[in-house]
Amino acid sequence: GNSVTQMEGPVTLSEEAFLTINCTYTATGYPSLFWYVQYPGEGLQLLLKATKADDKGSNKGFEATYRKETTSFHLEKGSVQVSDSAVYFCALRDTSYDKVIFGPGTSLSVIP
């Protein structure tokens, strides 16, 4: 069945460091891919998405490119800030239904 795998956390970075959070997926067909972010004490919110191969989603300085050949959707940011501290979830939307399958989440802490 469909699944999403993310790198294990927690990840701790210094402010202005480069961020990569790896995400790979298993799916039939051509799913849409997402990154959701959960700030402390809040629900999840969509960070970015890509709907087809080679699409790049971007928002708030974060980027991720839909790589069908490697079934990956890695999240990157060139210079993280303390306010980026959160849990990041990679997810895919099953092409047959409106359900979204989430990865386990990666906790990011950015220290000044």
Partner 1 sequence: DAEITQSPRHKITETGRQVTLACHQTWNHNNMFWYRQDLGHGLRLIHYSYGVQDTNKGEVSDGYSVSRSNTEDLPLTLESAASSQTSVYFCASSRQGEETQYFGPGTRLLVL
User: Which residue in 35, 103, 108, 110 binds partner 1 (CB under 8 A)?
Assistant: 103
Peptide bond into 10 cis (omega under 30): yes
User: Which residue in 84, 86, 105, 108 binds partner 1 (CB under 8 A)?
Assistant: 105
Q: Which residue has the tokens 């294990």?
A: 8
Amino acid occupying residue 44: L
> Is residue 93 a contact residue for partner 1 (CB under 8 A)?
yes
> Is residue 43 a contact residue for partner 1 (CB under 8 A)?
yes
> Is residue 26 a contact residue for partner 1 (CB under 8 A)?
no
Nearest distance from residue 5's CB to partner 1, in Å? 11
Q: Which of the stretches 12-20, 35-43, 55-63, 69-77 binds partner 1 when contact is defined by CB under 8 A?
A: 35-43
> Is residue 35 a contact residue for partner 1 (CB under 8 A)?
no
Per-residue 3-state assignment (H helix, E strand, C coil) for 7-76: CCCCEEEECCCCEEECEEEECCCCCEEEEEEECCCCCEEEEEEECCCCCEEEECCEEEECECCCCECCEE
Cα distance between residue 58 and residue 9, in whole Å: 22
> Is residue 44 a contact residue for partner 1 (CB under 8 A)?
yes
Q: Which residues bind partner 1 (CB under 8 A)?
A: 32, 34, 41-46, 49, 51, 89, 93, 98-100, 102-105
